[in-house]
Structure 1
Amino acid sequence: MAPVIVLPPSLHISPYGSALQEKPSNLLMQKPYKDSFGHSTPNLNSHTMKTNTEDGVPLKDTSNKPFATETKCVKARSQNNSPTQGQHSFAWTKYKSVTPVSSHAPMQRHQVDKSSNPFEEILDTSHRTEREVRASLSKLRRVILTEGLPEEDLPKLTLNSLRSRVWKHLLGVYHVSAREYIQLINKGRSCVYDKVRNDTFRTLATDKKFLEKVNEEMLIRVLNAFAWKMKSSSSCNGQSVTYVQGMNVLVAPFLFTMSEIDAFFSFATFIQTCCPLYVTPTLQGVHCGLKLLDKCLQILDPELFNYLRSKCLKAEIYALSSILTLCACTPPLEQVLRLWDFLLAYGVHLNVLCVIAQLILMRKQLLKAPSPMKLLRTMPELNAKQIIKLTVQLAQKIPDKLYDLLVRHPFDPDVATILEKEK
């Protein structure tokens, strides 16, 4: 059995490694390694995975929607087993711990279909070293930013959709276990079950496409199982990671995009590695994000900032839902998914700037409004392409010290202390 490696905070907090500190346009300027593609090596593609029931557990159908069977995939083995930032040679098991993953895929000559889209080309590329894996992930991020994922027929999304594959790669989800998920479900109601039931019935309740694909029982199962999983995990800065209101909206895009089992493990990895402080009882990360929104807006658009302040409007009053749910509370769902492509590629911290981008896009109306809160109570429908383009521009104007706090606020408890001292 592979030993469990407990990583220091700087390494376990994110699947992005050192790339998290890079501003999007800076990553766009990076050139891929010359030897990144076309090698005869183990395959990176998570959906050359063997669909199987290795655990020997029959998948019980407890809702109108069937479970998918267990899926596994292999990953390129690092030539150096020491944990370093940016490596993807680990599979996440528990919070703050990872297990090395070895590849048993046969060596094979890789051929790329020139007619395939760039995403398929990247996902189907074989790799020989960890460096090549990181280079492909970097290229994947750039293509997401420059081209965006192709349009998909949302009501007819398959469980093996391109977006599902891309998200799992970005999060480093290369192994899911039907046995573990079913064991968590069989534990029954968790201590937060009633809280979950109070929220799930109104999750994206006006979105017909979502309701056609995801039913309430799926939401309840995933969130209740997540609560059990977190109960046995380590705390974050002395605060338990548990179910909080708004988490039902955070899990919705995963369930819409993936099979239920893939959604559970992707969601769990997302919470544990990307934004654990967003789901502590005090919502520490969310409140830090709101404070940082005010600081960034003051730099990016002083006139708008001062006007909102003159109306006694701080970010915590009008932006709480947008920060907590990474804008998933704002329709339409198609645009939410495109925005999340960007956030999962470059870091959820950029959601703070995405909210500012929305404010700037409606600044004329806000500055003319005698009561801007009436406009802010319901944000305009998302236009992901427009918001992402402006967010990338805004990121370049944020001072490095402030950007560092922005990057760290979803997972580093020290940010709250720093912001408190700066009052």
Structure 2
Amino acid sequence: MRRAHHKKRDQIESALRKPPIVVDQGLSELRYLILTQGLSNDPESDFCTYRPYVWSLLLKVPPSQAKNYINLIHRGASPAYSKIRNDTFRTLTTDILFQRRVSETSLIRILNALAWRRWDDYRDRQHREQVRQLRVESRQKPHSPGPSSSRNPYSSSEASYMNVDMANISVSELYVQGLNVLAAPFLYTCNSETQAFAILDTFVHTCCPLYIRPMLDGVHLGLKILDACLQIIDPTLYSYLKSKLLTAELYGFASVLTMSACTPPLNEVLILWDFLIAFGPHMNILAVIAQLLLIRDSLLASQSPMALLRTFPPLQAKKVITLAVSFVPQLPDELYDLLVRHPYDEGAAEKIRSL
């Protein structure tokens, strides 16, 4: 009999099968292996089957139940449904592998479910704020004892005030530009929509919540940081682009908005995302600068560099990661701190805008 061929497991796959004694130590080891070795594809399918589990561990995705996702789907079309449909059909249209593996219907479902999830969050925030206001008002009003007194601090009119009119919610609170592209790698990588939804939900709401604000606050902060970092990392290129009136807002918006997922090919995007999920989405700013430096000579030689910047060259993830890591020691501590905080910390916004 012929001896069955067994694929040799790489170190990351082996590490996943051995629960660490200390969780943080295990995650540190996993990050180191991602940086030094990377995840491996199955040679037969050319696909990494354990990538979603790595992402789930790194993001500390809480256990999810399929019924929660199914309940969101069964609520039907969200107020953002039309806006979602206007984006999904043009998501990664040039990537044949994505088009084969992920249907537009799946993408619509996961984004619509995310919109309902955000609807619920918005409603809860509004209720909490109204309860807080009512409590403040009740403390400020003089207490008048008598038969009409009640243990309930809210009168009937105040109770009706607590009913939030969700019909007035802005669609941009539920869905913003770029979410379709951010969702695409999760759907492509994961084994189910439920798994993809859980990881996407955790990623956008924990790692980069300012990126999905109605005004895309985190994206614009990231672009401001990109200019400041480029000025330090490559002052010559920064000055040349500035002389052509080119700032990151003009050439880097899509790359920052989508964590570079807008630049094909998708298999290279996944390698870059392994790195971003392991070390933080803020590193995408340095990854965009790395992509600029890979075409630096062409940019400096061009009288119209924007013609080159409209479409970045095909992504070379390993080169980009190596360069991005090398930039970190060059940045002043204060600037690096703002870089790290810009996707999630409103407290960093004022300082970033003053750069």
> TM-score over 0.5 for the alignment?
yes
Which residue in the other structure is 2:301 paired with? 368
Q: CA separation of 1:194/1:169 partners in 2, compared to 1, >3 Å: closer, same or farther?
A: same
2:267 aligned residue (330, 334, 343): 334
**Partner SS for 2:202:** helix
Q: Is the CA contact (8 Å cut-off) linking 1:288 and 1:409 kept in structure 2?
A: yes
Match of 1:248 in 2: 180
The one-letter amino acid of 1:307's match is: Y
Query: Shift in Å at residue 233 of structure 1?
Result: 1.4
Q: Which entry has the higher C-alpha Rg, 1 or 2?
A: 2
Q: Distance in 2 between matches of 1:200 and 1:156?
A: 26
Mapping of residues 350-361 of structure 1, within 5 Å: 350-361=283-294
Report how far residue 175 of structure 1 moved: 1.1
What is the match of residue 123 of structure 1? 16
Residues 155 and 212 in structure 1, CA contact (< 8 A), matched pair in contact too: no
Give the aligned partner of residue 150 of structure 1: 40
Distance 1:368 1:395, change over 3 A: same
The offset of 1:157, in angstroms, is 4.4
Q: CA separation of 1:289/1:206 partners in 2, compared to 1, >3 Å: closer, same or farther?
A: same
1:296 alignment counterpart = 229
1:138 maps onto 2:28 in alignment: yes
In 2, Cα distance between equivalents of 1:402 and 1:256: 34
The answer on 1:172 being equivalent to 2:105 is no
Q: Give the 3 Å change call, closer, same or farther, for CA 289–212 of structure 1 in structure 2.
A: same
1:127–1:368 Cα change, 3 Å: closer
Which position in structure 1 is the counterpart of 2:95?
A: 207
Partner residue in 1 for 2:206: 273
CA distance in 1 between counterparts of 2:336 and 2:92 reads 32
Q: Are positions 1:227 and 2:115 aligned together?
A: yes
**What's the TM-score once normalised by structure 2's chain length?**
0.82
Q: Does the 8 A contact of 2:118 with 2:174 survive in 1?
A: yes
**Contact 1:185–1:225 (Cα < 8 Å) also in 2:** yes
Q: Is the 8 A contact 2:210 2:217 kept in 1?
A: yes
Unaligned runs of 5+ in 2: 1-5, 127-170
- What is the match of residue 195 of structure 2? 262
* CA deviation string 1:144-186 (max 9, x = no partner): 000111134696748xx21111111111124121111011001
**Which has a greater percent of helix?**
2
Question: Cα offset for 1:237?
Answer: 11
User: How many Å separate the matches in 1 of 2:58 and 2:64?
Assistant: 15
How far apart are the structure 1 equivalents of 2:277 and 2:250? 26
* 1:127 to partner: Cα distance: 3.9
Check whether the contact 2:223–2:248 (CA below 8 A) recurs between aligned residues.
yes
What is the percent sequence identity of the aligned residues? 51
Distance 1:154 1:247 in 2: 32
Answer whether contact 2:41 2:47 (CA < 8 A) is retained.
no
The change in CA–CA distance for 1:299 and 1:226 in structure 2 (over 3 A counts) is same
Which consecutive aligned stretches of 4+ in structure 1 deviate over 3 angstroms post-superposition?
Answer: 152-158, 234-241
Instruction: Give the drift of 1:254.
Output: 0.3
- Cα RMSD (Å): 2.2
Q: C-alpha distance in 2, partners of 1:164/1:185? A: 22
Which range is displaced more, 410-419 or 330-339? 410-419
Report the more deviating stretch, 167-176 or 272-281.
167-176
Residues 241 and 349 of structure 1: CA distance in aligned 2, closer, same or farther (over 3 Å): farther
User: Structure 1's 148 and 347: CA in aligned 2 closer, same or farther, altered over 3 A?
Assistant: same
The residue correspondences of 1:391-410 to structure 2 (distance < 5 A) are 391-410=324-343
Structure 2 residue identity aligned to 1:124: R
Q: Report the Cα distance in structure 2 between the residues aligned to 1:278 and 1:127, rounded to whole angstroms.
A: 33
Preserved CA contact (<8 Å) 1:274 1:348: yes
**Contact 1:327-1:336 within 8 A present in 2 as well:** yes
Q: Secondary structure at the match of 1:345?
A: helix
1:196 partner amino acid = I
Tell me which amino acid in the other structure corresponds to 1:329: C
Deviation string, structure 1 residues 117-168 (Cα, Å, up to 9, x no partner): 211221111344xxx111010000000000111134696748xx21111111
CA distance in 2, matches of 1:273, 1:307: 36
Describe the shift of the 1:318–1:155 C-alpha distance in structure 2 as closer, same or farther (beyond 3 A).
farther
| Number of aligned residues | 305
In structure 2, the residue matched to 1:183 is: 71
